Amino acid sequence: MLFRFLQIITNNKNIILEKTNDRIKNNIIVDEKNPCNYLDEFEYSENFDRKLILNNKTYYFNFKFVCDQGGAQKRTLKLTYNFIESQLNILKYTKNKNIYFINILDGDVSSKKINKLKFIIKKNKCEKYQDNIYIGDLHDFYYLYGINYLISEIKINYNKNNNFNHIDIIPINLADPFGIKDNQQ
């Protein structure tokens, strides 16, 4: 799971990657479970998938898995683009520099569009916030943040509705890195 990966790279066993209702409204992060009950519901972004508070820093996670071509997939990526733009606005307008946004985009369609989603940073002249926002796939996320750790496999798990469920991080057994002992049984 993602929290296990974060435990490994931070060497902290007490990490809690909590489900959150936090979302963005008017360049502010608000805790709102169901904005559909309000007249201004479209002023709210979608909620973040997970939240981590660690060492006085807040990390917000957004997971998208988009595969196959089509209108619904294009709409999902367009909404993701808008969501990332809202995240950049938070970084531009807040005094709190201890907020981080991690947008993990997997699937064959997402991977082909990552550069187009990253374009928003350049378009909005937000290069100075690049350390506070990640836009990419899980493999690159691991590479950037877990380069010193040996992981044999990363599995992203989705429920039957194709919504993110959890991530499994499988570490290499350093006593038997090639699985020889397992095969001898």
Q: Please answer whether residues 103 and 137 qualify as being in contact, where contact means their C-beta atoms are separated by less than 8 angstroms.
A: no
Q: Give alpha helix (H) positions in the chain.
A: 2-10, 71-93, 108-123, 138-145, 180-184
Q: Which of 89, 77, 83 is nearest to 126 (CA)?
A: 89
SS3 31: strand
Q: Please answer whether residues 132 and 97 qualify as being in contact, where contact means their C-beta atoms are separated by less than 8 angstroms.
A: yes
Q: How confident is the model at residue 185 (pLDDT cuts 50, 70, 90)?
A: very low
Q: Provide the whole-model pTM.
A: 0.72
Residue 175 in any domain: the answer is no
Does residue 180 carry a pLDDT above 90?
Answer: no
Percent of the chain with pLDDT over 90: 21
Over residues 115-130, the mean pLDDT reads 81
The amino acid at 22:
D
Residue 130 in any domain: the answer is yes
Number of structural domains in the chain: 1
Q: Please answer whether residues 61 and 17 qualify as being in contact, where contact means their C-beta atoms are separated by less than 8 angstroms.
A: yes
| Per-residue pLDDT reduced to its tens digit, 67-79 | 777 787 878 888 8
Query: In which domain, by residue range, is 13 found?
Result: 9-148
To the nearest whole number, what is the mean pLDDT of the chain? 76
Residue 184 in any domain: the answer is no
Q: How confident is the model at residue 117 (pLDDT cuts 50, 70, 90)?
A: confident
Q: How many CA atoms lie within 13 A of 106 on its CB side?
A: 19
Residue 41 in any domain: the answer is yes
Q: How confident is the model at residue 172 (pLDDT cuts 50, 70, 90)?
A: very low
Residue 173 in any domain: the answer is no
Over residues 114-121, the mean pLDDT reads 84
pLDDT at 87: 93
Residue 136 in any domain: the answer is yes
Helix 71-93 crosses helix 108-123 at what angle (to 10 degrees)? 30
Does residue 5 carry a pLDDT above 80?
Answer: no
pLDDT at 156: 61
Q: Among 50-54, 60-64, 157-161, whose mean pLDDT is lowest?
A: 157-161
| Per-residue pLDDT reduced to its tens digit, 81-115 | 899 999 999 998 887 888 989 898 888 888 888 88
Greatest mean pLDDT among 39-48, 53-62, 118-127: 39-48
Query: Would the CA dihedral through 37, 43, 49, 53 be positive or negative?
Result: negative
pLDDT at 176: 40
Q: Hey, what are 113's tokens? A: 């569009």
Residue 18 in any domain: the answer is yes
Residue 178 in any domain: the answer is no
**Tokens 């005094």 sit on residue:** 95
Q: How confident is the model at residue 120 (pLDDT cuts 50, 70, 90)?
A: confident
Q: Hey, what are 123's tokens? A: 């378009």
